[in-house]
Amino acid sequence: MNNNCVIATGAAFGILAIILGAFGAHALKKILSAEKLASFEVGVRYQTYSALLLILIGYNANFEISSLRWSFYLVTIGTVLFSFSIYLLSLSESLKKNFKFLGPVTPLGGLLMILGWGCLLLSAI
């Protein structure tokens, strides 16, 4: 692992968050209920936080420290599980697909993100 990989992952998350945020604000506003749209926006918000975190640690971290490597892995996997499960759950009615099996995936992703932030804290201590 190197810093460029972490920065690229953060940048990809950031680009996708902006695209999905704009998509939600314009196209989905017309087809989703207020509750589903709010859930979708939570996914975008947390994906944005993860993007910024990854870019920050990518520019500043020494990945020879194992807790920083774990922070990258946990935040990345957690974001995919958390945000993307929310996106699919929010769109399930509109897509006429049953994504309810993803319900337990969302909190698992959140837990992994929390652990990733914890690893970052551990590396600072």
* Tokens 């194992």 found at: 66
Give yes or no for a contact between 51 and 10, defined as CB atoms under 8 angstroms apart. yes
Backbone phi and psi for residue 65, each to the nearest 5 degrees, phi listed first? -85, 120
> Which domain range does residue 109 map to?
3-124
Q: Which among 86, 85, 52, 58 has a CA at the least distance from the CA of 72?
A: 58
Model's pTM, two decimal places? 0.91
pLDDT tens digits for range 45-63: 999 999 999 999 999 888 8
Contacts of 35 (CB under 8 A, 6+ apart): none
Q: Is the pLDDT of residue 1 over 80?
A: no
**Number of domains the chain contains:** 1
Q: Which of 111, 105, 107, 112 is nearest to 73 (CA)?
A: 112
